[in-house]
Structure 1
Amino acid sequence: MRLSTVILPIHRWNEGQKIWRRAEDLGFHAAYTYDHLSWRSFRDEPWFGAVPTLTAAAAATERMRLGTLVTSPNFRHPVTLAKELVSVDDVSGGRLTVGIGAGGVGYDATALGQEAWSAKERAARFGEFVPLLDELLRNDSTTREGTYYSAVEARNIPGCVQRPRVPFYVAATGPKGLKLAAEYGQGWVTYGDPRGPGDVPVEQAPEVIRGQVEKLTAACAATGRDVAELAKVLLQGSTAEKPLQSLDAFVDWAGRYREIGITELVIHWPVPDSIFANDLGTFERIATEGLAQLG
């Protein structure tokens, strides 16, 4: 099992770079950031772009993997996104992972002036977005006509450092998204029950993930893939569980999900006075000692 972190893009870089470097020093497998234009309680607070942040983080670190968790079609187009991902993969020396999801109904969904898409349209757009992004990142030139997304002789030279392309970690819980994860993903991401922490008691949270892993396994089998080929990533912070309250709490939580089949845990870097407020000292102990205590 691996342990990674999410660093929100809320810090001016003279401070933010210290956090990314500290994450590498603590031994995290990867550090991700959210790809939003703004987000929930941070809407009227500082919030920087994901791609420039990852580019700067790539220059400030040497070993740790970097990525989005997650990017989506809400305000992205595969052609322009592919160019940016190739660039970050190059700057990082091949350390980029692309977490990608269908998007939602938050601020990003209407920031460009459009009406928020229905769940059906989000799924349909995601179904075009992922295959086109895959093709763009694999090929020097891509032409494809779609209902929502098209490319006309779109060039991506020299392509990704990682071959055949940067890995995709597909966030999905429904059948169409899980099928995309099985077909295109090198990893799968879940944050728990889409209904939210208020609807799922703590003791039921692991069983929700177990059911999702079973559905992912079935989706992989239907496409002829072994589910063991995919990293299975759990993003902490969207359930009523409190694994960052203490080292022991983390070890118990991590052990439960390791038994279910999760291979990578992602915990939020503490942000004071927010839903991600946690003691930094405890967080750093978890980073350095947590997985070792699983045995």
Structure 2
Amino acid sequence: MDIGVLLPTATAQWGPADDPRELIALGREAERAGFSSLFVGDSLISPRIEALTMLAALAPVTDTVTLGTAALLPFLRRPVQAAQSLASVDLLSGGRLTVTVGAGFPGRFGRPLYTLSELPWERRFARLDETVALWRALWDGADSFHGDLLHFDDLPPTTRPARGHPPIWLGGATPAALARTGRTYDGWLPYPPDPADYASGLHAVRGAAADAGRAPEDVTPALFVSVRVDDDTESGRRALDDYARAVYGMPLDRLEEIQAVVTGSADQVLQGLQRYADAGARHVVIRLAALDLPSQRDQLERLAALLPALRATSAQKSSAPLRSSGVQ
């Protein structure tokens, strides 16, 4: 299993005395501790370090970790320029970029951002898929692109990634998103609160992949989950409630209705994450539920101690037949 961390690039996750330049040191510590990847979020809702700027800063000071977005919102950027920025990060990192994309959500996390981007909310999923198709075409050297929504003639030569295409994952768990993931994306990064929903979603993704002539291993099964290692479940939930209110403006009981959340003692966290491994997750992106950088570092150290056990469990699950995940 690949196990990564989401770096706290949003100011809501910093303390008054925190220096955002410490995010680079935190990323390097995560790599040394054995984490497989470093991911960053993307939004205009809360002040934060811009996602691709953060990855560009990490690229030359890390060696092996995957650098990823969770999730990049392509509609916030001009599509051709975004392709060049992504290719540049991939080049600077030596081919370590993974791009999770999303189309935004209803409410304050979606529609107002489309207004700021001067794009219509309608047909946002078609626009997302066409943007990804445009990126891939540009990286293949295309000089024009004609979709239903995006039209470009006489495209100039663009920066090419270190690899042909960086992997592009989709974040989302609606039936339509599952079908689109299986058909055209390289990975799936949802955050379902119930591992059973993860298992059923992965079954649907693999079914769509098979229908499109793709193999199950063509789509990386990933998971985004908020984690807090504490003395026990009660103290962990109190800290997570503070986190949910500070970052999302909602109590924990509402947050965990829509997002995967795991907390408690080290053994309890291990058991909670293993339930998702049992459901098929093979790349877990962990958001450290803490509200200042020293506490983030403490959570990183606590989770690093769990890495050998998590990977051992995943290795056992990976050796089982695929039908255990519902795929024949």
TM-score bracket relative to the smaller structure: 0.7 to 0.9
Measured in 2, the distance between the counterparts of 1:51 and 1:7 equals 13
2:27 maps to amino acid:
W
| Aligned partner of residue 110 in structure 1, secondary structure | helix
* Letter in structure 2 aligned against 1:287: A
Measured in 1, the distance between the counterparts of 2:273 and 2:102 equals: 24
SS at match of 2:39: strand
Structure 1 residue 244: deviation in Å?
A: 4.0
Between stretches 91-100 and 241-250, larger displacement belongs to 241-250
2:128 corresponds to: 126
SS in 1 for 2:153: strand
Q: What TM-score do you get using the length of structure 1 for normalisation?
A: 0.82
Deviation by residue 1:178-228 (Cα, 9 ceiling, x = unmatched): 3332233221111116xxxxxxxxxxx111112211211211111011223
Match of 1:230 in 2: 219
Structure 1's 165 and 113: CA in aligned 2 closer, same or farther, altered over 3 A?
Answer: closer
What is the match of residue 202 of structure 1?
none
Gaps in structure 2 of 5+ consecutive residues: 12-18, 227-254, 314-328
Residue 99 of structure 2 aligns to a residue whose secondary structure is: strand
List aligned pairs for 1:180-195, cutoff 5 A: 180-192=180-192
Give, in whole Å, the separation in 2 of the partners of 1:272 and 1:232: 29
- 2:24 aligns with 17
Q: 1:246 corresponds to which residue? A: 265
2:245 corresponds to 1:256: no
Question: What is residue 68 of structure 1 aligned with on the other side?
Answer: 69
Q: What's the Cα RMSD here?
A: 2.6
Could you say which residue in structure 2 is the equivalent of 1:286? Answer: 303
Cα deviation per residue 1:243-276 (whole Å; 9 max; x = unaligned)?
A: 2432112210122111111111111134317xx9
Trace 1:26-105 onto structure 2 (pairs within 5 A).
Answer: 26-38=33-45, 43=46, 46-105=47-106
Q: Distance in 1 between matches of 2:119 and 2:154?
A: 30
Task: Give 1:17 shift.
Answer: 1.3
Task: Give per-residue Cα distances to partners, 1:67-118, cap 9 Å, x unaligned.
Answer: 1111123313321110100110111111111111222233564242647614
Matches of 2:39 and 2:102, distance apart in 1: 14
Distance (whole Å) between structure 1 residues aligned to residue 141 and residue 119 of structure 2: 34
Q: Partners in 1 of 2:304 and 2:284 — Cα distance?
A: 11
Aligned equivalent of 2:121, options 117, 121, 126: 117
SS at match of 2:208: helix
1:179 maps to which residue? 179
Q: Helix, strand or coil for the counterpart of 1:236?
A: strand
Match among 213, 216, 220 for residue 202 of structure 2: 213
Gaps of 5+ in 1: 194-204
Aligned to 1:200: none
State the Cα deviation string for residues 1-23 of structure 1 (Å, max 9, x = none): 12111113236542221111112
Instruction: Tell me the secondary structure at the aligned position of residue 21 of structure 2.
Output: helix
1:196 alignment counterpart: none
Q: Which has the larger radius of gyration?
A: 2
Which piece of structure 1 moves more, 143-152 or 95-104? 143-152
TM-score with structure 2 setting the length: 0.74
For residues 234 and 13 of structure 1, the distance between their equivalents in structure 2, rounded to whole angstroms, comes to 26
Task: Supply the distance in 2 between the matched residues of 1:130 and 1:140 (Cα, whole angstroms).
Answer: 14
